[in-house]
Each structure stands twice: as C-alpha cells, then as structure tokens.
Amino acid sequence: MTVQELKTAFVAAYGQEAEAVYFAPGRVNLIGEHTDYNGGSVFPCALSFGTYLLLRKNGGKTVKFRSLNQPEVIELGLEQLTTPLDKVWVNYPLGVFAQFVKRGVEIKEGFDILIWGDVPNGAGLSSSASLEVVTAFALNDQLKTGYNRTVLAQIGQKAEHEFAFVMCGIMDQFAAANGAKDSAIHLNCDTLQFELVPVKLKGVKILISNTHSPHKLDSGAYNQRVSECKKAVEQLNTVRPLKYLAELTEAEFKSIESAITDPVAHKRARHVVGEVQSTSDAVKALKANDLVLFGKLMNPSHVSLRDDYEVTGPELDCMAEEAWKIDGVIGSRMTGGGFGGCTVSLVKDEAIDTFIAKVGAAYEAKIGIKPEFYIAEIGDGACKL
Ligand code: GLA
C-alpha cells in the first residue's frame, strides 16, 4: 500500500485525518546468528519493507489499535497499558507503551493508531521488531521523550521479552532503529558500539528465499538456546571467569571446552564461538571487497547452525543446499532465528533467474511448499514520513 492509501484507510477507520506517519524496517542478517545474546557481533541490514504506523491524539483516555493485517480492533484504557493480553498481535505495540510507562513517562491522552506492514510474517525478517520499533519511534516523537535510537531499540527488545516472552537479543530492534541505506550494521552486542559498512556489491545481489515453512520462531526453542548458552557459560566459569561465550577465541575455547560437561551446551557454545570469529572475518572481507571469502564464510555458518545449534530444519536445509549447487552463488545460509523462515544468499546477477527457477523447483518438489524470493534492497532505519 502507498502512504496515501494508508492515510485514506486511517480516515475510513477513525473519521479524521492522521496527524503523523512513521515507518520502521524489517532486517536481514548477513552473518552472526545467535551471537547477539552471547555478547557477540552481528551484521544485519535494514530492508526497504517494514511497518507503517499512523496516529492521531484522540483527546480521550483510550488507545485504539487497528492493523490492516489483522482482524481485531483493540481499545484499551490508559490504565491498561502495562499488562500483556492473551496472545494477540497487539502485544508488540502494547509492550512498547508499557516500557514508556515503566520508565515513568506519563501518557495523559489517548491515541488512534493504524498499522500496516509488508514484512512477510513469520519469515524471520523481523516483522515484530519493526512493529516494536515503529511504535517506540512514534511514541518518542509524540511524547517528546528524547530517547536516542539505541534506547528505542532496547525498549523494543524489552517489549519482546515481557509481552511476547521471547528472550531475544538486541539485533533485530537495533537494525530497525539504526539501519542505513546501502549499509550493513556491524554491531557489537555487548557494548552496542556499531559501524555502518557500505554494501557495494558489484554484479552481485542479496537474495532472500522464503521457505514459507509453517514453523514460526518458536519462543520455547529459542529461549531454550538462550539457557543452553547460559549453562555453557556457567560450566566454563569453573575454569575461567567469563560473562559471555563471545569473549572466547576459538583457541581459548578449545583449551577449556572440556569444562562444559553437558554435550548439548557444548555444541551450542562451539557454534557461538565459531560464528563470532566468522562474523569478524566476514566484515573484514566485505570491507576488502572480497565477496568470495564472504561467501565461503556463509556456508559453514549454515552448517554450524544446522548441526551444532540445531535451528534449521528440513526446509531451511533444503533451501541452502539447493542454493549451494547453483553456479554463481557465492554463499547461502539461513538468516534470523531459524526454525523456518528465510535464507540469505549472495548471487551473481547473471545467476539470479536460474537460482529462482532451479532452487524454487527443487524446494517445492522436496518440501511441497511454493517458496518466494526477494532481492533485498537495503533501506534506512526508523523515520517519520
Ligand atoms: C531472532 C532474535 C535475535 C537473534 C536472532 C538469531 O531474530 O530476535 O535477537 O538472536 O534470532 O541471530
């Protein structure tokens, strides 16, 4: 939908014009998976698709939430903004309102809100983070709270923890808040220092392949990975003081890995330590315009997520393995939380059509689901339109 169509939809829904329109993007992570909550670094890009939020102050004491993507309209009193509802989409924006209230911000007047997004749902491209961040960005502007983009990302992350019960890291919300056109964000998730690295891919495109797998990011399995990593840290602490797995080089890990007696925690830790190293190597490769090296790091990242972290599944594995067979594919791996969702591939321009035809057909034949492909356009972070 265009912004004009959204404005018209707002008038149709509320009988008055919207006072402001905001946008926050989804993201694709190039490399650095399941490293963020382990104090490691990540390398995502904001996408050109995302979530739009239109609003007006309504002069009353309720907040009305509508989404053109969802059937329910939810109206809540200003005193009801700090309690999650039972499993509805509105928990994402509501969770953000709650964070403002918890920070002592007074919300004196209600809002009429209309939301629409074009990030495919459940695809691992952070539709939820884009919804959280667009809400945080809008409230920050409306309530004149003056939080910087990093704080807005942290507000979104807390909303996800407390209202969606996924103990996620900061990557998705950070990318939605701080993304920049044609750049990837090299973010240190411990210090929150970041660098924007220009993505100038001559003759190569970033191709996103959506498995359309019915699995969603399963909060149970995700949270389990978070606690398995904590367990690995606890066991390593018997031989070396450590806050995060990402503090260890691969050599250091090898020298103390026997302290992790739990075999599952051990595999998880091995993935994280290797992925942190690969992320740093990949960033250097991109800066040096060495896409071949970048691609060479992507494939083992997928394998490690498959075998050690166990977050891929048949759909993502099939998509990546079929991609690896195509001439002109520089690298391909799952992106995001896993358990379904998307892969990200670097593909030479002349191989894009073959990729879509061959990988699409092989995937559909094996899995029985028609996949979808998008050429990623790297866009900016949250903004007022
Ligand atoms: C999800 C989470 C992120 C990150 C990724 C895996 O997208 O929201 O914080 O952990 O999974 O890299």
Using one digit for the tens of pLDDT, what is the confidence trace for 297-347? 999 999 999 999 999 999 999 999 999 999 999 999 999 999 999 999 999
Question: What is the average per-residue pLDDT within 282-294?
Answer: 95
Going from the C-alpha of 185 to that of each of 247, 376, 383, the distances in angstroms are: 20, 15, 17
> Which ligand 1 atom lies nearest to the CA of residue 32?
12
312 with 305: CB under 8 angstroms? yes
Mutate which of 34, 158, 218 for ligand 1? The one with the most ligand atoms within 8 Å of its CB, which is 34
Residue 146 and residue 27: Cα distance in Å, rounded?
24
Catalytic: 112?
Answer: no
Q: Indicate the Cα dihedral angle 266, 272, 275, 280, nearest 10°.
A: -130
Confidence band of 216 (pLDDT split at 50, 70, 90)? low
Mean pLDDT (the chain, rounded): 96
How does pLDDT run across 23-68, given as a tens digit for each residue? Answer: 999 999 999 999 999 999 999 999 999 999 999 999 999 999 999 9
* Burial label, 326 (beta-carbon count in 10 A; 0-12, 13-18, 19+): buried
Find the catalytic residue in 36, 112, 172, 308.
Answer: 172
Residue 184 bridge partners (DSSP) = 197
323 with 332: CB under 8 angstroms? yes
Strand 383-384 with 329-335, pairing: unpaired
State yes or no: pLDDT of 257 exceeds 90.
Answer: yes
How does pLDDT run across 140-165, given as a tens digit for each residue? Answer: 999 999 999 999 999 999 999 999 99
Q: Give the closest residue to 236 by CA, choosing from 202, 191, 270.
A: 270
Classify residue 212 as left (phi > 0), alpha (psi -120 to 50) or beta: left
Centre of ligand 1 from the C-alpha of residue 339, in Å: 12
- Ligand 1 pocket list (CB less than 6 A): 33-34, 36-37, 168-169, 171-172, 336-337
pTM of the full structure? 0.96
**Hey, what domains does the chain have and what are their CATH numbers?**
3-198 (3.30.230.10), 204-375 (3.30.70.890)
